[in-house]
Amino acid sequence: MEHPLTLNYGLIPGWVFLFVLLCASGGFFVFQVQRAIRLVMVGAPDNRFDSWGLRVKEVLVGWLGQKKVLKDKIVGTMHVLMFWGFLMLSTDMLDLVSASYFSHEIMPRFLLGPRNAMVELGYFIALIGCVAALTRRLIFTPEKLKGKSQLEGNFILFLIFTITTTSYLIEAGESPSKITEPIGYWVKSLELNDSIIITSYWAHMIAICCFLVLIPISKHMHLVMAFPNVFFHNIGPMGKMKPLAVDENGKAVLLEELDIESFGVSNYNQFTWRQLIDGWACTTCARCQDVCPAYESGKPLNPMQIIHDVRNYANDNYSQLLTGEDVEENMIARFNSDAIWACTTCHACVDACPVYIEHVPLLTDTRRHLMMEAMEFPEELQLTMDNLEVNSNPYGFGAHERGDWAADLEIKIGEPAEYIYFAGCAASFDEKNKNVARSTIQIMKEAGLDVGILGMQEGCSGDPARRSGNEYLFQMLAETNLMTFQELGVKRIVASCPHCFHTIGKEYKDYGGEELEVYHHSQILSQLQEEGKLPRVEYDDDVAFHDPCYLGRIGGEIDAPRSALNNQVVELERSGTDSFCCGAGGAQMWMEEDADKRVNEIRAKEAVETGCGTLAVGCPFCSTMMEDGLKTLDSDMEVMDIAELMWEQMQKNLLSSKN
């Protein structure tokens, strides 16, 4: 039959109809996309043009391979079928708009069969994914979609259903091959009349044009923005914050040379262009929302809404932003300061996002402004900041007491040693956590390591200051510690606190700490066992293990704590990189929390459900939060650090061998 595009409809040729449709829909699409790009480019500079090899690799794995999407087996598979299906069928557009001229006249004949097979397969898997998604939405509606408008999502799926089903009717009118186009060949055998095929062609093209119109004004803008979002994602360590200012070598400008007029972010154009892309890359899949401890506990923070706020704010203030006019409402007001201060910086949202959105920096950047410029922060943080500034610890104890916990351990204090144990503030001053430090030191000495501590020369790593937005105070603490390390020739540091492990190991590199080797104590304990310097101890009972966010998900260390516990670990419902936050990160340890919205109680319930009598942790903050949560639940489950458990069992084994 004659191609529908070459027919006349009244006095008007088919190609004229298509030309008008494509100009209208395509013009609208281009206008909206360039509008979004202009709003993105209003943002501050951001050097994301390094490490092209790594970026290309992540695009292949994360965008094309849909690595994060497939973490959700059911929904991810539906999405992947549609995504890969549309990639495979995309070349069919060249035939659809050229009345098959592309395949008949331009494409080499030897490629025609494989290409047709790929296109038909693409339509088929996209159809399967679409039907599955519609079934899920309409029949097996998930809780998070109930009570919410599904009109947009359902209409998009209806368009995809129309595009895929009509493709086989169109194919039936073009002499499909029995081998490479079996579905089209079967449809042709039904001997459909020409009017059905013609109608199907126009329904197909109208659906595609509707899709073009909807993409830039809906969540499906991610089809355009996901690619650059993934390509330009942060390839540095997760959770690593940027200095106030950097020099030409990318290193932090020292405090004595710092000259900054404003701090943090309050206005839209102070976010970087890469941060702003996030607003248009969001797929509204709600995965960030689902894993956010603040959201789950009922606080006003929803990480997905934060990203939506970026795009909505830009669209609401389009003219002013492009002309540089002042906007009365700033980004802090749009986000809501209560939401900004609710974040634990656990990075579960960042880790879960399939399009590599970076939620947490949006919040920590606005915290910097609230803390250092607007002076609008939770009042309880004032005491914490004062204590850090005067005594270099958030508790307010004098520096002369910092090494008292090790008075009877016969250990080097303030002297050069192969390993320096960085006790951190909790293990130095909190009675429960002092035993963690003592256990760690005694185990390391038992293994024959040359280990020492800094004593009163040690200062807070600066984590509480940095996560709460007091970047100036953080840098002061960091520079002071680094001077101490340099004076003593410190090269290897062991920390029991994952926050110190992260801050000193990854963030101090911007301030001159590039040569430091920093270990979490679980890594050293596990390594010593592997080297035969420590025995593999058998524990009397299995223990549950809670992964600290700054060790597991952010630090990337999952195996060492389990190995140190001889792998006698009962996993909580959410573990490893999917672990649920204890609620203390992001300086929440030093803020008041609504008694009815406590993150630690959610996690404590998961610990109790394991049925174990002991919960092992690898973080002093987690220890405190989990212990408090278990008390609230009237549970007698005991919370112990990895080092405490290991040293206790080693002592038991020693007594047993003597008897």
Are residues 58 and 166 located together in one domain of the fold? yes
Q: For 5-21, write each residue's pLDDT tens digit.
A: 999 998 899 999 999 99
| 258 falls within a domain | no
Q: Which CATH number belongs to the domain containing residue 580 in this structure?
A: 3.40.50
Q: How many domains does the chain have?
A: 4
Are residues 89 and 127 located together in one domain of the fold? yes
Choosing from 347, 372, 397, the residue where a domain stops is 372
Question: 572 near 545, Cβ under 8 Å?
Answer: yes
Choosing from 507, 530, 553, the residue where a domain stops is 530
Choosing from 372, 398, 414, the residue where a domain stops is 372
Q: Which domain holds residue 448?
A: 387-530
Are residues 651 and 507 located together in one domain of the fold? no
Residue among 444, 436, 324, 354 nearest 61 (CA): 354
Q: What is the pLDDT of residue 504?
A: 98
In sequence order, the β-bridge partners of residue 517 are 492
In sequence order, the β-bridge partners of residue 545 are 571, 616
Coil, helix or strand at residue 608: helix
| 188 falls within a domain | yes
Are residues 547 and 526 located together in one domain of the fold? no
Are residues 426 and 556 located together in one domain of the fold? no
Coil, helix or strand at residue 491: coil
**Cα–Cα distances in angstroms (integers) from residue 101 to residues 107, 304, 463, 541, 635, in the given order:** 9, 45, 63, 73, 74
- In terms of Cβ atoms closer than 10 Å to its own Cβ (0-12, 13-18, 19+), residue 164 is buried
pLDDT above 90 coverage of the chain, percent: 86
Q: What is the pLDDT of residue 538?
A: 84
Please provide the average confidence, as pLDDT, over all residues in the chain: 94
Q: What is the pLDDT of residue 195?
A: 93
Largest Cα separation within the chain, whole Å, is 106
What sign has the CA pseudo-torsion 64, 65, 69, 75?
positive
Are residues 526 and 547 located together in one domain of the fold? no
**Cα–Cα distances in angstroms (integers) from residue 544 to residues 136, 330, 498, 557, 631, in the given order:** 35, 45, 19, 17, 17
Are residues 584 and 466 located together in one domain of the fold? no
| 253 falls within a domain | no
Q: Which of 136-150, 165-179, 640-654 is least confident? A: 136-150
Please name the residues in contact with 312: beta carbons below 8 A apart, sequence gap of 6 or more.
279, 334
Distance CA 274, CA 465 (A): 25
Are residues 323 and 463 located together in one domain of the fold? no
Global confidence as pTM: 0.93
| 623 falls within a domain | yes
Q: What is the pLDDT of residue 144?
A: 75
Are residues 359 and 412 located together in one domain of the fold? no
Distance CA 656, CA 654 (A): 5
Question: 610 near 574, Cβ under 8 Å?
Answer: no
| 466 falls within a domain | yes
Q: For 136-152, write each residue's pLDDT tens digit.
A: 888 888 777 776 777 88
Quick check: 624 pLDDT over 80?
A: yes
Quick check: 115 pLDDT over 70?
A: yes
Q: For 86-114, write each residue's pLDDT tens digit.
A: 999 999 999 999 988 898 889 999 999 99
Are residues 520 and 549 located together in one domain of the fold? no
Mode of pairing for the β-strands spanning 419-422 and 412-413: unpaired
| 587 falls within a domain | yes
Distance CA 301, CA 338 (A): 7
Are residues 80 and 185 located together in one domain of the fold? yes
Quick check: 659 pLDDT over 60?
A: no
Q: For 276-328, write each residue's pLDDT tens digit.
A: 999 999 999 999 999 999 999 999 999 999 999 999 999 999 999 999 999 99
Question: 315 near 78, Cβ under 8 Å?
Answer: no
| 235 falls within a domain | no
DSSP letter string, 161-195: HHHHHHHHHHHHTT---TTT-HHHHHHHTT---HH
Distance CA 626, CA 624 (A): 6
| 538 falls within a domain | no
Are residues 323 and 357 located together in one domain of the fold? yes
Residue among 113, 119, 131, 112 nearest 87 (CA): 119
Model confidence at 393, pLDDT cuts 50, 70, 90, reads very high
Q: Which CATH number belongs to the domain containing residue 348 in this structure?
A: 1.10.1060
Q: What is the pLDDT of residue 594?
A: 86
How many beta carbons lie within 10 A of that of residue 245, not counting itself? 13
